[in-house]
Amino acid sequence: MNKILFNHSPHNGSGKDESVSCRSLRPALFEFIRSDRPDLKRSDTISYNELNEYKVRYISKYLLRDIHHLSELEDNVISSMTNQTVISDMIDEDEDTRKKATFGQRLADKVSAFGGSWTFIIAFILFLLAWIAVNYYWLRNRGFDPYPFILLNLILSCLAALQAPIIMMSQNRQEAKDRERSKMDYMVNLKSELEVRILHEKLDQVLANQEEYMRRFNDNNTPADAGNAG
C-alpha cells in the first residue's frame, strides 16, 4: 500500500485532492490510522482518496476478526462501502450478464418450461388417445402401429431420453442463478451488518461525548452554585 500523506494544516495546499479533517473521523477509525501514523493529530487533514484506502484496511480488519478469510464477496462489500455504492448496482450488472445466454441454454429453458406445463400434458394425452384410436379402432388394429403399439413405446422412450437431460440442463442453470442470488443476498446482509456496527460505534461515541459534556458542564457550575449558596 502506498504511504499515506497527511497535511498539518486546515486545507490541502495542492488543491488537487479534497481533504478531510481528522476531527470528523470516527474515533475507532482515527485510532486505526494513528496505529500506522503515530504523529497524526486531530487538527490534521487527510486526503479523501487516501482516507478510502485506510477505510478498506479498517473494514478488512473488521471482517478478518470474524470470518478469518476474505473472499471475493467480502472484497465486493468492502468496495461498495468504501465507494458508497449500493449492492443493487452489482445485481443489475449480473442480470445483464445472465441475459447473454447461449441458444442451447435458452432452448433448454423453453423446452423445460413447456414440458412442465398443463398445455404439454393435455396435448400429449390427446396425442396418445388419437394414436390409439387411429391404429386400434379406425384401422382395426392393422395400421402402421398395431397393438401393443411398439412404435409408440419407442417414441415415448426416445422422448423421455431427450427430455430428461434437457430438463437437467435447465435445472442446472436455475441452480446457478439461485447461487448467484444467494451470493448477492449474503453481500447485502453483510453490508447491512457492517453498516449497523459502524452506526453503533457512532452512537456510542455521541453518547460518550454527551456524558463528557454534561460532566464538564456540572463541574463548571458546581463551584458557582456552592458560592451563591454560602
pLDDT per position as a tens digit, 125-174: 999 999 988 888 888 877 788 888 899 999 999 988 988 898 888 888 88
pLDDT band at 5 (very low <50, low <70, confident <90, very high): very low
100 and 175: one domain?
yes
Count of domains observed in the chain = 2
Considering the domain architecture, whether residues 204 and 144 belong to the same structural domain is answered as yes
Is 82 part of any domain? no
Segment 45-50 shows an average pLDDT of: 78
Considering 70, 103, 120, which residue would you say is the last residue of a domain? 70
Does 28 share its domain with 117? Answer: no
Q: Do both 20 and 124 map to the same domain?
A: no
19-21 and 6-7 strand pairing: unpaired
pLDDT digits (tens, 9 = 90+) for 86-97: 776 665 555 555
Domain boundary residue, one of 11, 37, 70: 70
Q: What is the pLDDT of residue 153?
A: 92
Answer whether residue 114 is part of any domain.
yes
Residue 166, C-alpha cell as written in the block: 434437457
Same domain, 164 and 63: no
For residue 152, being part of any structural domain is answered with yes
Q: Give the C-alpha separation, 42 to 127, whole Å.
A: 82
Please tell me whether residues 35 and 116 are part of one structural domain: no
How does pLDDT run across 63-72, given as a tens digit for each residue? Answer: 776 666 667 7
95 and 192 together in one domain: yes
Confidence check: pLDDT of 2 > 60 = no
Q: How far apart are CA 178 and CA 182, in angstroms?
A: 6
Residues 174 and 221 in one domain: yes
Are 182 and 111 found together in one domain?
yes
pLDDT value at position 228? 53
pLDDT in tens, 201-216: 667 767 766 777 788 7
Q: Is the pLDDT of residue 14 over 60?
A: no
Indicate whether 85 belongs to any domain. Answer: no
Q: Mean of the per-residue pLDDT values for the chain? A: 75
**Alpha-carbon dihedral sign for residues 97, 100, 106, 108:** negative
User: Are 149 and 105 in the same domain?
Assistant: yes
- The whole-angstrom separation of Cα 5 and Cα 47 is 8
The whole-number pLDDT of residue 11 equals 41
Domain membership of residue 75 (yes or no) is no
Please tell me whether residues 141 and 193 are part of one structural domain: yes
Average pLDDT of the segment spanning 14-26: 66
Residues of the domain holding 162: 90-230
Q: What is the pTM of this model?
A: 0.52
Same domain membership, residue 114 and residue 65:
no
